[in-house]
Structure 1
Amino acid sequence: MEAKMARGKFFAVLCVSLLMFSVSSFLMAGKKDAPEKEKPAVEVKEGEWPRYPGAKVNFLWYPSPEMEAIKKLLPEFEELTGIEVTLSELPHEDVFKKRMMDAVSGAGEFDIYPLQPSVTRNFADSGYILPLDDFWSSPAEVEYDDIFEGVRTMYEYKGKVYGLSLYPDVLMLFYNKKMMDDAGQPIPDTFEEFEKVSKSFMKDTDGDGKIDQWGSVLNLKGGDWSLMLNFALFMYMNNGDWFGGQIGADNPVSAGDPMYMHAMLDDKKAIEAYSYLVKLYKDQVFMPGSITFSFFEAMETFAIGKVPTYIGFADQAPMILGPDSLVKGDVRVAPVPTWKGVRRSFTGGWGASISSKSEDPEAAYTFLRYFYGNVENQKKLSKFGQTPSRASILFDPELQKEFVWYEGMGEMLNYVKPIPIIPEFEEYVTGLEPFLTEVLLGRMTVEESMMQSNKLLDDILIRAGYQK
C-alpha cells in the first residue's frame, strides 16, 4: 500500500514536472521568437541634439522652483529631440515612497529618479540606477568639471557617476544692510566678530526691562535636521568627521584602518564644536526662540526685521532677495564667518539619476544632459528660478548683477563638505537630535550628549554591516 502510494506520488510529481517543463519551454520558445523592441532611430548632426522620435521620459519629483524652471524650456527640448516628457509632480513625502516602490518592484514607471546623496550608495548597489559614465563619451560631454567638486562627489560611488545635481544646499550669511549701517557695524568675517556684532544689537526697545531685540537667529529645532546641520557646520569648521571613511573627510581613513566606519563623535573636535554652538545660544548671540525655529521660521524672523543677520540656505535666497520678498530694506549676502580660521559649510541637495528599468535610457540621459549637463541651458534655468551648481554660472558677472547672492554662494561652494552619504544617516539624525536638544535645555552635558550620539552611530553602523 505504501509502495503504491509512493509510486502515485512519484507519477503525480513527474506529471506536474513535465507539465511545468512544457509550459516553460513554450514560454521560452515564444520569448525567443519574439522580436526585440525596436529602439528609436537616433539622428545626430554636428552641433545639434540627438533625436529620439517616439521616445518617452517620465521624471518624478515634487513641485518646486526647479520643476517650474524645467517647464519653461520643455517645449524647446521636446521639439529639438522628439522626446515626449512627463513631469510627475507629487507631494514631497510621497516622492520617496513612489520612487522606492517603483525601484523595488522594477515597474519602470519613471525614467528619472530624484536622488538624495544619502541613497546614492544604496541605489547603486541595488542596481536601481544606472551610471552616467555608460552614456557619455567623456565627462566633458556634461561639462562635469564645471560643477563644484563638493557637489559632484555626492553622486559618485566606486568610481562611477550616478547623478547630476538638481540643486545644492549651502549656507550663507544674510544681513540687513540698513540695520547694519545704521548701527555702524561691519559685516563679520569671523565668528568672534559675529559674536560682538550680534550682542551689540541686544536691546530693550520698549522700555519694559526685557531684551526684545537680538542680533541674529538660527534654526535650532530638533526633529527636522535643523539642529544636526548647524552642529555639522561647526564640526566641519573644526575639521571633525562623523565617522572614519566619510566621503570628503578631513581625516581620511582607509578600509584597513581600525577606525574605518567607526563613529568619531567622542573626538574632542566634535565636543569642542558643539560646545561652541551651545555657548553661542546660551550667550544669546542667537535669539532665545531659535531652539523652536525651523528653517522657514528662522527665515521669517529675519525677513520681518527682528534681527539684522541670519545664517540660512542658498535656496532661500530667492524668497529673501527675490522680487516677491517680504523683507523690508536692503538685504545682502556674505560667506559664513570663519571659526578657528576655517570657512566651511556642509552641503546636500538633490540630484537626478536614470532608473535601471527605463525603457528609453538614452532619451533619459539626453534629458539630463540638456537640462543639467549644459551650461547655456543652466543659465536659462537660473533665470527661471533654478539654483545652480556650476562655477561658470555663479561667478558670471552679468548674472551676479541680477542674482546678488550668486557670488557669496559660489564662494561658499568652494568650501563645502557633504553630510554622510549612507542611507542609514537619516535614521541616525532622528536619534541624534534629541541628545543635542537636551544640552540646549540644560539637561545633559555636551560630553554626555556626544558619547550617547557616538554609541548610537556605532550601533547603526554595526547593524548595517559597515563595521567588519
Structure 2
Amino acid sequence: MPFLLSARPPAPPGPSRRAVLRGAAAAGTAGLLTACAGRRPDAVLDADATPWKRYAGTTLNFISENTAPTAAIAADLKPFTELTGIRVNIVTLELSALAQKVALDFASGNGEYDVIYADPYLVLAPYAPAFADLRRFQEDSSLPRLSGGGFGDFISTHLDAAGRFEDRGKVLALPYDCPTMVWQYRADLFAKYGARMADDLGFDPTPSDNSTWEQYYAIAEWFNSHAREVRYGTGHQAKQHDSLMCDFSNLLWAYGGDYFADGPRVGRLGTTDPGRCLLGSEEAIAGAEFYHRLLRIADPGSRTWDWDGLGAAFRAGRIAMCPNWHEYAASNEAALPGKVGYARLPKGPARSAGMYGGTGIAISDVIPARRQQAAWLFLNWATAPKTQVSNLASKVGGGTPTRTSVYELPSVVAAERRPSKMPNMLSAQAVTAAWKTANIGLRPKIPMWGECDTAIYTQLSGMLAGDASPAAAMKAAAGRIDRITARGWVN
C-alpha cells in the first residue's frame, strides 16, 4: 500500500507479547528469497568514493511482503549491486507475519532490518516513530538525490497514503507498489452477448464510468442464466479474511458510508484518534444490504476465496467478471490473452470507489546512521523511474509505477494497448480513474487498524453465513471498533 511521510506523538501500543511470539513462530516457516544475515556491523564508508559507491561492501537486509515489485527486484538485483557495491538480502513473508517480525525488531532494538516494506495500516501507522524521516537523506548533499522531480514525482495520493502518518511534513516511506481494485471482465463474452444483454436488460452492459452496481448485479444474473462459457456472472474475495473487508469496502463507499468521519483525511494522512465508527449509519447498512444481495447470486466459491483464489477462478474461466486488484492483469493476459477488459468499479448512490492497497518502503530509525545512508541508496534505486520501467516488463510480473513521470514515457503509454510487453499497463486507464480523489478508496490509517479489520470481516462473514442481518452485522462491527479505539461510546 502506498508510502507516505513537531514532536513525535507517543508510540502507540504494539501487539501483545503473545501475539508477537506467535507471529515470530509463524514467520519461521515462511519462505525466504535470501536467508537474512544476523546482526551486521556498521556500514562500510569510503568518504572519498562517489556518492553511489560510498558504502560498497555493505550488506542490507530488506524485509517485504511477497509482492510483485519485490519479486521483480529480487530477480534482478545485479544492476544495484554493480552501481553501489552493496549486497541486499531479501526476506519475504506473509503480511501479518512481517508486521510481527518488524514489531519484535523495533521492540528489541536489534535493528535486524534496514529496509522495511511499511504497510500503512499494520506497520507504518502503529510504528511511525521508529521510521527515519526521508527528507534528511534527500537534503543531504553528500547523498544521491531522488531523480525525476524528487518527492513531487510520486503520485500525490500515494505519497500521502503510503508515505506519511499524521504529519504532512515528514516523509516516512517512498511509494513502492500500488495495487488497486478495478472491474475485471471477460471482454470477449461481453462482445459476444452485448447486443442480446442490452435487449434483455434495457441498458448497454459495456463497463463504463456510467455503469452502476445495480447494473452490475443485473449483468451477473444474466450471465448466470444465459452463458455456457462461465458458471457464474460474478465472483468475490469473500473469505473470512482481510480480502472480505477490501471487497465490501468498495460497496460501503459507493453507498455513501465510511468507517469514520472525515474518511478521506483518516485514510490519506492517518490519525491516532479517528472518532466514533460510522458503520451503523443508514448509508453503511445500505451498502451491506446490497453486498449481501450480490453475494447471494455470486459463485458460491466466493466465500472460500481471498484475492488469489478469486484471480485463479477468473483465469480458469469460472466467472465472467469480478472486482480484484489490477496487478492480476499480467497473469490474466497469460491465461486469457486478449480476452480481458478493465474498468473503474461501478458507481453507487454516492460515487464509484476502488480500494487502494499500496505500500511504501522505509528505513528503520533503529539502525546506525551509516546503515540508514546505505539503505537510502537502495530506496532511491528501487523506486527510480528506470527501475519501475524494468519491473513493468519483468518476466515474474513486476508491479505498477508509482511515479507520474513513468506514465508519460512513450514506451509505457504504448504498453496500454495490445500487444503489450508490460501487461499490467493494460489496466492503466481503469486504475488512473480509480486514483482520482473522488474515486479512490482509502481504508482508515490508524494504529489499531489490524484489530478493527478483524472485527469487520468477522461480522461480514457471519452476515454472509446468515447468522446476522446486514444491519445487525454493521452495528456489531461498529460497537466492537469503538471499543478497540477506546472512545467508550455506546450504541
Aligned match of 1:330: 339
After alignment, is 111-120 or 334-343 more displaced?
334-343
Aligned match of 2:126: 122
Mapped contact 2:315–2:335 kept (Cα < 8 A): yes
1:160-199 alpha-carbon deviations (Å, 9 max, x no partner): 1111122122111111122111112542332233223222
For the aligned residue pairs, the C-alpha RMSD in angstroms reads: 3.3
After alignment, is 398-407 or 111-120 more displaced?
398-407
Cα 1:456–1:213 shift into 2, 3 Å: same
Q: Percent identity?
A: 22
Mapped contact 1:163–1:353 kept (Cα < 8 A): yes
Aligned match of 2:465: 441
Aligned residues between the structures: 413
Task: Report the AA paired with residue 332 of structure 2.
Answer: I
Mapped contact 1:347–1:418 kept (Cα < 8 A): yes
| Matching of residues 11-410 of structure 1 within 5 Å | 40-42=45-47, 49=52, 51-90=54-93, 94-118=97-121, 119-125=123-129, 128-137=130-139, 143-154=150-161, 155-157=163-165, 158-159=167-168, 160-184=170-194, 185=197, 186-189=205-208, 190-191=211-212, 192-203=214-225, 213-222=231-240, 224-244=241-261, 246=263, 248=265, 261-282=275-296, 284=297, 286-321=298-333, 325-327=334-336, 330-340=339-349, 342-359=351-368, 360-372=371-383, 374-384=384-394, 385-388=397-400, 389-394=402-407, 396-401=412-417, 402=420, 403=423, 404-410=426-432
Cα 1:193–1:107 shift into 2, 3 Å: same
Distance 2:390 2:462 in 1: 46
Aligned match of 2:435: 413
Cα 1:340–1:146 shift into 2, 3 Å: farther
Distance 1:262 1:129 in 2: 28
1:242, distance to aligned residue in structure 2 (A): 1.0
Distance 1:252 1:101 in 2: 25
Task: Report the AA paired with residue 334 of structure 1.
Answer: A
Cα 1:90–1:428 shift into 2, 3 Å: closer
Distance 2:391 2:308 in 1: 24
Mapped contact 1:171–1:312 kept (Cα < 8 A): yes
Distance 2:364 2:267 in 1: 33
Aligned match of 2:6: none
Task: Report the AA paired with residue 293 of structure 1.
Answer: W
1:281, distance to aligned residue in structure 2 (A): 2.5
Distance 1:271 1:101 in 2: 38
Normalising by structure 2, what TM-score? Answer: 0.75
Distance 1:261 1:304 in 2: 44
Structure 2's unaligned 5+ residue stretches are 1-40, 198-204
Mapped contact 2:63–2:91 kept (Cα < 8 A): yes
Task: Report the AA paired with residue 65 of structure 1.
Answer: A
Mapped contact 2:164–2:269 kept (Cα < 8 A): no
Task: Report the AA paired with residue 446 of structure 1.
Answer: P
In structure 2, the residue corresponding to 1:241 is in which secondary structure? coil
Mapped contact 1:130–1:354 kept (Cα < 8 A): yes
Mapped contact 1:248–1:418 kept (Cα < 8 A): no
Cα 1:41–1:228 shift into 2, 3 Å: same
Mapped contact 2:43–2:55 kept (Cα < 8 A): no
Structure 1's unaligned 5+ residue stretches are 1-35, 207-211
Distance 1:292 1:370 in 2: 39
Task: Report the AA paired with residue 260 of structure 2.
Answer: F
